[in-house]
Structure 1
């Protein structure tokens, strides 16, 4: 318990929890996502479309309706918004582009513009 570890100091307990959370997130980020699906979306009329690969850690997750729907929604987003990059980190420094429109994760979600894909 972080509060016990911090001897009752709430500020220190929050700091401990933050550090532990960052470590856990880092450990998860290092795990291989070897399972996944490839989803294709062709817009009405067949003139534009996209194919996306969405990966996860287990095949159990790939079989869920939620995961399949996520892949479908991402394929629709890519078709509608034509991102050039996945995240801001992939954009070259010398590139003269607007990250919010060029990066998939920063784009407004086509079904709810108040949210981004990252949200």
Structure 2
């Protein structure tokens, strides 16, 4: 099987909007012929997903998912273009899969890297720049390491960058694009909220030794 570089995959993805794994697959099948790969993606309906993603999506559903044990819950708004598509089984299955993904991803807080507030990005940069293992590194090397760590950290916070729990070779972004191609409408994650039992409540931590000492003093 021909070795396909990440650069070739990215270039094809930029041209077609298709998912990374789809691009890699057709490049392998076409032996690196980009034009043939584009044609193969078009036949599968995957090359049009990027264009559809620019259209207004104001319909959709709100999906609620409660994880086993009722300790974690997710509420998600997933949008499409028409109410007809919102009622389709494929769309509702996608909404549930994404809600389950959010519940299974403890670090995810934002829809995409682009949605992460600048103050959060700046805070992560300060943390990574100040790490002890970088103290004696040359500036150019240090900057490169920090940039790589920041990119990794921001992707950990981003829903669209998560490997799909049911098919780890694709991301949630790839999954959504596959469904755009399948359904024929734009699909967008509008917003989500995760609920964890006890979240945000400061729990009292009892120190047994202190309790014993207090009891003895009060005798």
**Runs of at least 5 residues in structure 2 that lack an aligned partner in the other structure:** 1-34, 39-46, 125-149, 175-219
User: 2:165 pairs with 102, 107, 110, which one?
Assistant: 110
Residue 78 of structure 1, CA deviation: 0.6
Question: Any runs of at least 4 consecutive aligned residues in structure 1 with deviations exceeding 3 A, and if so which?
Answer: none
Other-structure match for 1:4? none
C-alpha distance in structure 2 between counterparts of 1:49 and 1:70, whole Å: 17
Residue 110 of structure 1, CA deviation: 1.1
Give TM-score, length-normalised by structure 1: 0.72
C-alpha distance in structure 2 between counterparts of 1:43 and 1:60, whole Å: 28
Other-structure match for 1:76? 100
> Structure 1 47/107 Cα, relative in aligned 2: closer, same or farther at 3 Å?
same
Other-structure match for 2:110? 85
Residue 108 of structure 1, CA deviation: 1.0
Write out per-residue CA displacement over residues 56-108 of structure 1, whole angstroms, 9 at most, x where no aligned residue.
Answer: 11011001100000000011001110411111111224141612211000011
Other-structure match for 2:122? 94
The structure with the largest helix share of the pair is: 2
Is 1:32 matched with 2:56? yes
Other-structure match for 1:17? none
The secondary structure found in structure 1 opposite 2:75 is strand
C-alpha distance in structure 2 between counterparts of 1:104 and 1:28, whole Å: 17
C-alpha distance in structure 2 between counterparts of 1:39 and 1:77, whole Å: 12
Report which of the two structures shows the higher radius of gyration computed on alpha carbons: 2
Give TM-score, length-normalised by structure 2: 0.41
Would you say the 8 A contact 1:99–1:106 is kept in 2? Answer: no
Q: Kindly indicate whether structure 1 or structure 2 has the higher relative contact order, using CA contacts under 8 Å at least 6 residues apart.
A: 2
Map 1:41-80 onto structure 2 (within 5 A): 41-80=65-104
Residue 32 of structure 1, CA deviation: 2.5
